[in-house]
Structure 1
């Protein structure tokens, strides 16, 4: 597994807690969170709950990123912006095509497949284990003010100066077929 740390070049931020009923930190994704292109996969975003965000948090963003994808730049699986500060949970499946499980005002950005939805894990066969960083970013602004069609990478760049805290859960997946 790669030692690539996606936070190594970012400003430090306070830590807070994120948990999921669908995956434990360091554990493998369940079939529901795998790509529909993988046997049993359903492209269902995980349930997430978070607590302990820093004082002054005015909104959240959630991202799912695989730094181990063989692209040279990793792979963004999901990005949600403008989650109100009063929200501390997303239900399983909130990242479907409609985004109907997202709170009012929040929106999904296109992932690296250019679909504004959660894209499940599908590491290439024989490529070894991949890590999926599920991150809740606590922000000091109510709206990060990016266009709905922007990339998750640009969202990350825009958030850099607004991150008060970061809650991280790491899931894994491997395709041994």
Structure 2
């Protein structure tokens, strides 16, 4: 299989319009366009019955105590965990494209709905947990929300966009399912996959 994420090249910075936040000189960061990029794929294996699109950042600090704290930095070598930015499953076998802005167009305070949309079923991304302590932003964040790494993080973050070709029409997931649920449900059903990884940071000189 082959995947194309328009505007994102392997190992290169992700454009700001696809991010949740962009750098800001006075406030460290400002909310951005938060549009999902256009994703297309081809070279689909025989027997494909559905697709899943997953975006994950493996560089998120495991301890959030000092995230975005004045006078503190997050060391590059500190332990890291996966953070899921996009979960779209049960995409019909005939689909080959998610258009730019189709699953996210702007930051939506308190999140977006999970469940069925035109081209699949949305899961809950990890902003659901990250925003839980903010009374103005807390909620369930369905579908795509783009990069917003800590502005005091010394590590460059990597965002891997992957499309999976699956041998089932549905993964049987519903409600506010999460990244781990998707990865477990796909076990034994992946016919092929294709990925591209872009980078992002809000910290100068990283």
TM-score over 0.5 for the pair: yes
* Runs of 4+ in structure 1 over 6 Å off: none
> What is the RMSD of the two structures over their aligned residues, measured on CA atoms?
1.8
Structure-1 residue corresponding to 2:91: 83
Q: Which runs of 5+ in 2 are unaligned?
A: 23-28, 63-79, 105-111, 129-140
Give 1:83 deviation, angstroms: 0.4
Structure-2 residue corresponding to 1:119: 145
Mapped pair 1:25 → 2:16:
no
- Which of 35, 44, 50 is residue 44 of structure 1 equivalent to? 35
Q: Is the 8 A contact 2:51 2:89 kept in 1?
A: yes
Q: Which runs of 5+ in 1 are unaligned?
A: 1-15
Q: Distance in 1 between matches of 2:113 and 2:124?
A: 13
Aligned residue-pair number: 159
Find the structure with the greater CA-based Rg: 2
Q: Distance in 2 between matches of 1:113 and 1:41?
A: 15
Question: If the length of structure 1 is used for normalisation, what is the TM-score?
Answer: 0.82
* Bigger fraction of residues in strand: 2
Q: Is the 8 A contact 1:43 1:119 kept in 2?
A: yes
Q: Distance in 1 between matches of 2:100 and 2:113?
A: 13
Question: If the length of structure 2 is used for normalisation, what is the TM-score?
Answer: 0.71
